Amino acid sequence: MAFVSNRSGENEIWIANLDKPDEGRFINVSQSPLSTETRPAWSPDGTRLAWASHAPGQPDSIYIWDSNHPEQFARPVGLGDWPAWNALGNEIATQLVEPNQSYLTAYSLDGNLSMPLVPVNDIRGMDWHVERANGLPLQFFKSALLTPTALWQMQIQMIADVPGQRASVVKLSDLEAPHPYLQDAVDESFSALRQRVILETGWDALASLENAYTPLTSTLDPGKEQDWLYTGRAFALNPHTLNAGWMIDMREDIGTQTFWRIYLRCVAQDGSQGEPLRTLPWDLISRYNVDPQAYDQGGTYAKSIPSGFWVDFTALAHKFGWQRIPALSNWRSYFKGTQFNEFILTGGLDWHAAMLQLYPPDIFITPTVVIPPTHTPTATPKGYRYKTATPTVTFTPTPRPTYTPPSP
């Protein structure tokens, strides 16, 4: 039996030989202390074991271990985070995770792609029951091309006094935020997402936000001069929810960037809401625990998987058009740079175009700094002191008068 255990200090793939007594029954087959392994899957003939491996700063990869050569280390097959063998055992299907989109594909055992990328969303498990290695059924590809029905309906309010027919921001009801507004094109999506979160978790996680629309008169933190909060197309979850234990984040390194997957704790812990977690979350708060290593790397993996039932907020927000954003390059030393709690709805616009929906082009005109002329000091001639002779005072004796006797 293959399973995941953190008995070595982090998630590793172990095998339990049920024919052996307690001593020697358990074997660590992944033996990778610098990565986290999950989701083991046996090949149909039971001789090879595949699993997903995650290392900080590296994309998720699929590894295969051959039980016929247990002394050899597992070898990588390709990128992915959830392996599933086909019926013949000569292909492995997996999910490729991009920042805001996932794809289904398959590899042959030599590492070559054997199936084109198929867009998918919110995969919670995979199994592959195909008798022949000829890819997925045609119906699957057809379903991937279908456009799902929108979960909200956009309603634009026509305001006559807005100059230049630009968009406006709309105030959100029963919302705590420094400025409880969003752009008119996204407020319905936010409200629909908020109601869905209440339904899925049992509590209103979006009733209090760190930020929503931020006017230009307000200054955000360093590094956020072009943040989407200025466009009214973004919101930031309240980080106090993380401190209270009702929100956790999973670190996902995709390419050279770091992203976060947010999970919200459910009120009902009887299994009627959410699902259990299967991977270790990233503990951002541990950077403040006087641990030099945790401080340098911006936190650590949690020591254990939190118990209970949770809802994947990132996947839920994606259904309503909201995307996560990458952390800033200095996130390890700058907590605000993690941007773990910010979500945006671009509507196919870049930041510059989104700003022009609210503001005139003049906001992008930066005055040229004119340095006022300064008086250039001229060299002052250096004065010279000439040494003059000092007259020597000499004393001339004054003749004393002589006595002359009077004449007779």
Strand ordering across the sheet containing 113-120? 84-85, 91-97, 102-108, 113-120
In this prediction the pTM is: 0.78
Cβ–Cβ under 8 Å, residues 182 and 169? yes
Q: Which residue has the higher pLDDT, 245 or 402?
A: 245
Strands (E), 295-401: 300-301, 310-312, 323-324, 342-344
Q: Which residue has the higher pLDDT, 293 or 202?
A: 202
Residue-range domains of the chain with CATH = 2-144 (2.130.10.10), 163-364 (no CATH)
User: Alpha-carbon distance 301 to 10, whole Å?
Assistant: 9
User: Alpha-carbon distance 187 to 175, whole Å?
Assistant: 12
User: Alpha-carbon distance 382 to 334, whole Å?
Assistant: 55
Strands (E), 169-296: 169-171, 181-183, 209-211, 234-237, 247-254, 257-265, 282-283
User: Alpha-carbon distance 39 to 93, whole Å?
Assistant: 13
User: Alpha-carbon distance 156 to 226, whole Å?
Assistant: 25
The 3-state DSSP class for residue 265 equals strand
What is the rounded (10 degree) CA torsion for 359, 327, 105, 43? -160
Mean pLDDT of 113-130: 79
Q: What does the pLDDT look like over 219-246, one tens digit per residue?
A: 889 889 999 999 999 999 999 999 999 9
What would the two tokens of residue 242 be? 């993380």
Burial, 46: exposed, middle or buried (Cβ in 10 Å; 0-12, 13-18, 19+)? exposed
Scored b (16 or more CB within 10 A) or e, 306-332 reads eeebbbbbbbbbbbbbbbbbbbbeebb
The 3-state DSSP class for residue 75 equals strand
User: Alpha-carbon distance 126 to 42, whole Å?
Assistant: 13
User: Is 176 a residue whose pLDDT tops 60?
Assistant: yes
User: Alpha-carbon distance 281 to 301, whole Å?
Assistant: 6
What would the two tokens of residue 295 be? 């401080």
User: Alpha-carbon distance 90 to 346, whole Å?
Assistant: 41
Q: Which residue has the higher pLDDT, 164 or 311?
A: 311
pLDDT band at 133 (very low <50, low <70, confident <90, very high): very low
Q: Which amino acid is at 155?
A: Q
Share of the chain above pLDDT 90, in %: 50
- Give CA 286 to chain center in angstroms: 17
Scored b (16 or more CB within 10 A) or e, 142-151 reads eeeeeeeeee
User: Alpha-carbon distance 56 to 292, whole Å?
Assistant: 18
pLDDT value, residue 288:
86
Q: What does the pLDDT look like over 246-297, one tens digit per residue?
A: 999 999 888 889 999 999 999 999 999 999 998 889 999 998 888 888 889 9
Q: Which amino acid is at 120?
A: V
Give 159's contacts (C-beta < 8 A, 6+ positions apart): 168
